[in-house]
């Protein structure tokens, strides 16, 4: 690793600066290996706001969640999109949207996100339900009814990847499933393994066959091919129509945009589904409450659980699954390690609480690292423990969490914050609810005994939901099998 001497010195009013002889990439790797521990150690030494040079960037970390609102509300001087518009195009292989070459496109893209929310969720939810049942039936429920063994991550990946793909992009002409889905998924996993390096701006040409794999993935979304698909979501249709308005945008560029959305829609959802399922299956008391809740919701709607018949959940029914939602939120709290990044647009003084403010220089990055908040014992008692009902109180969603005796505005942030909050968050939680509900209704399932507890693989710290370090073996069988015995 190269050591580089940086000459920046701390100015009056600026936060403590961790500077000096810093291995250029070394700090970044140290950070990635144990971001939470790295930040906790610096907080101990320098207080709740400090600046660190990581991979050539001056990053100011705001560690106290009571200060988060001061960063999140600063829209104008602190910009998120500058960062994403530099990193995402290089990672996914499309030209930068805000380069001036595509006037108006950025605003249209932002507007298209509404098609993932509100009333538009009804269609997405209905479509997702059908697609989940399709994949569950064809690959896991139909046929032999004896106990089978499977790897849990593999199971979540194959079901959620294909069902989400079908829901977003639609199905091919004359058939319900895309050919080559297994290959697409495998290529996606290979690309995804390189994702942290691409985000760290390691040139793709240095990453072995990654460029060839990415080209193949992008090609899957060639506009000519996509035009033959039906049942495509309104979100993807609107984006495809938008790209058609720009003559200077090539077919491969359009395809690369669609590929980026594939990553956004499954890259975090699959590991999030894994953790939600893993924690439920390894906590029988949680499983019992959640299962009961699902049966109750179906009963109230006059739909007794009947394993031989497909049930559907409306958006309202999904919304009413309070314990299921809390259990998902809790697993997201434990597994998410996303970093919220803003880039300073000018030299300015960022006002924090009371009289306190910090000097920030143009181009500096202001970072929030919510994992530190999610694991703060003052906010969450025994933070490393999974408590499925942590977010339920008096039969309602619990929203009051405290630090230093003050109620926190932000206490749960796996989806980011403010204007850059994930636009797919409602859909994501809904599809995980659907997945788990169907799982509990249609399968007998258990984690194979004698396995070590599953731990987090920290290689994508800062980038979203962490993957499990090892896969977990499960036994399952279609539930109706028991009735027939
Ligand atoms: C952005 C998390 C699922 C679409 C983001 C961000 C986070 C995130 C942390 C960045 C926000 C920021 O930095 O402030 C997650 C998690 C998911 C999930 C944890 C699953 C559990 C989805 C799904 C979709 C989606 C299912 C689409 C169907 C997007 C898009 C952006 C984004 C398009 C970029 C927004 C922009 O450019 O402003 N997500 N996401 N996400 N997410 Fe998600």
Tokens representing residue 306 in the block: 């009947």
Q: Measured from the CB, is residue 417 less than 6 Å from ligand 1? A: yes
Contact between residue 336 and residue 371 where contact means Cβ atoms under 8 Å apart: yes
- Nearest C-alpha to atom 12 of ligand 1 is from which residue? 416
pLDDT at 89: 92
- DSSP string of 180-194? THHHHHHHHHHHHHH
Strand, coil or helix: what is 463?
strand
Residue 480 has what pLDDT? 67
Q: Which two tokens stand for residue 484?
A: 């027939």
- Angle separating helix axes 425-442 and 152-169, nearest 10 degrees: 130
Ligand 1 centre and the CA of 422: distance in Å? Answer: 4
- From the list 374, 371, 376, 378, the residue with the least C-alpha distance to 34 is 371
- pLDDT at res. 208: 92
Among 415, 431, 461, 462, name the best residue to mutate to test ligand 1's pocket (greatest count of ligand atoms within 8 A of Cβ). Answer: 415
Q: Two tokens at 140? A: 């896991």
Using a 6 Å cutoff on CB, does residue 264 contact ligand 1? yes
Question: Got the DSSP string for 327-391?
Answer: HHHHHHHHHEEE-EEEEESSSEEEE-STT-EEEE-TT-EEEE-HHHHHT-TTTSSSTTS--TTTT
8 Å CB contact between 471 and 434: no
Euclidean distance between CA atoms 200 and 251, whole angstroms: 27
> What is the reported pTM?
0.94
| Residue 415 Cβ < 6 Å to ligand 1 | yes
Query: CB within 8 A of 57, min separation 6: which ones?
Result: 365
Whether 222 and 256 have beta carbons less than 8 Å apart is answered as no
Backbone angles phi, psi at 227, to 5 degrees: -65, -15
Tokens 């309602």 belong to residue:
396
Residue nearest atom 25 of ligand 1, based on CA coordinates: 424
Structure tokens at 135: 């994949």
Q: Rounded to whole angstroms, how far apart are CA atoms 85 and 162?
A: 28
Let me know: does 217 contact 267? Beta carbons within 8 Å: no
Q: Is 465 in the pocket of ligand 1 (CB under 6 A)?
A: yes
Using the 8-state DSSP alphabet, how is residue 462 labeled? B
Residue 84, ligand 1, Cβ within 6 A: yes
Beta bridge partners of 351: 357
Q: Establish whether residue 416 lines the binding site of ligand 1, counting it when its CB lies within 6 angstroms of any ligand atom.
A: yes
Tell me how long the chain is: 485
Task: Determine how many CB atoms are found less than 10 A away from the CB of residue 133.
Answer: 18
Report CA(415)–ligand 1 centroid distance (Å).
6
Residue located via tokens 């070459």: 101
**Residues 229 and 170: beta-carbon distance below 8 Å:** yes
Q: If you measure from the C-alpha of residue 264 to the centroid of ligand 1, how many angstroms do you get, rounded to a whole number?
A: 6
Q: Report the C-alpha gap between 195 and 198 in whole angstroms.
A: 5
> Which pLDDT tens digits describe the chain residue by residue (485 residues)?
344 445 578 888 899 888 644 555 556 667 777 888 889 999 999 999 999 888 778 899 999 999 999 999 877 788 877 777 888 999 999 999 988 899 999 999 999 999 999 999 999 999 999 999 999 999 999 887 899 999 999 999 999 999 999 999 999 999 999 999 999 999 999 999 999 888 877 889 999 999 999 999 999 999 999 999 999 999 999 999 999 999 999 999 999 999 999 999 999 999 999 999 999 999 999 999 999 999 999 887 766 655 556 778 888 899 999 999 999 999 999 999 999 989 999 999 999 988 899 999 999 999 999 999 999 999 999 999 999 999 999 999 999 999 999 999 999 999 999 878 999 999 999 999 999 999 999 999 999 999 999 999 988 888 899 999 999 999 999 986 444 44
């Amino acid at each position: 690793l190269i050591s580089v001497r940086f000459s920046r010195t701390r100015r009056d009013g600026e936060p403590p600066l961790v500077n000096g002889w810093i291995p250029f990439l070394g700090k970044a790797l140290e950070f990635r290996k144990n971001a939470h521990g790295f930040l906790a150690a610096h907080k101990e030494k320098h207080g709740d706001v400090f600046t660190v040079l990581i991979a050539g960037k001056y990053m100011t970390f705001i560690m106290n969640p009571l200060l988060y609102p001061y960063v999140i509300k600063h829209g104008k001087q602190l910009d998120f999109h500058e960062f994403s518009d530099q990193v995402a195009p290089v990672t996914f292989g499309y030209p930068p949207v805000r380069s001036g070459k595509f006037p108006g496109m950025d605003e249209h893209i932002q507007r298209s996100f509404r098609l993932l929310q509100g009333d538009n969720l009804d269609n997405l939810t209905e479509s997702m339900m059908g697609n989940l049942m399709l994949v569950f039936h064809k690959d896991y429920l139909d046929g032999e009814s004896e106990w089978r063994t499977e790897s849990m991550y593999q199971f979540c990946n194959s079901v959620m990847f294909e069902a989400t793909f079908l829901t977003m992009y639609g199905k091919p002409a004359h058939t319900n499933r895309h050919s080559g889905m297994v290959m697409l998924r495998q290529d996606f996993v290979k690309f995804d393994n390189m994702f942290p390096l691409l985000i760290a701006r390691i040139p793709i040409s240095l990453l072995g066959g990654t460029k060839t794999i990415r080209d193949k993935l992008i090609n899957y979304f060639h506009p000519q091919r996509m035009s033959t698909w039906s049942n495509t979501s309104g979100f993807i249709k609107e984006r495809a129509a938008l790209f058609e308005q720009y003559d200077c945008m090539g077919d491969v560029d359009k395809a690369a945009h669609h590929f980026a959305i594939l990553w956004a829609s499954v890259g975090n959802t699959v590991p999030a589904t894994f953790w939600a399922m893993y924690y439920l299956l390894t906590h029988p008391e949680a499983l019992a409450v959640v299962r009961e809740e699902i049966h109750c919701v179906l009963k109230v709607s006059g739909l007794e659980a009947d394993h031989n018949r497909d049930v559907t959940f409306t958006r309202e029914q999904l919304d009413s699954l309070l314990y299921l939602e809390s259990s998902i939120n809790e697993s997201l709290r434990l597994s998410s390690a996303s970093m919220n990044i803003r880039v300073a647009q000018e030299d300015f003084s960022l006002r924090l609480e009371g009289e306190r403010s910090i000097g920030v220089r143009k181009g500096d990055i202001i970072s929030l690292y919510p994992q530190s908040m999610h694991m703060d014992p003052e906010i969450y008692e025994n933070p490393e423990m999974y408590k499925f009902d942590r977010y339920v109180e008096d039969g309602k969603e619990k929203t009051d969490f405290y630090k230093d005796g003050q109620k926190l505005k932000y206490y749960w942030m796996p989806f980011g914050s403010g204007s850059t909050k994930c636009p797919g968050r409602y859909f994501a939680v809904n599809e995980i609810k659907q997945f788990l509900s169907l799982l509990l209704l249609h399968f007998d399932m258990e984690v194979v005994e004698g396995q070590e507890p599953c731990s987090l693989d920290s290689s994508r710290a800062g980038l979203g939901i962490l993957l499990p370090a090892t896969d977990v073996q499960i036994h399952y069988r279609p539930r109706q099998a028991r009735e027939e015995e």
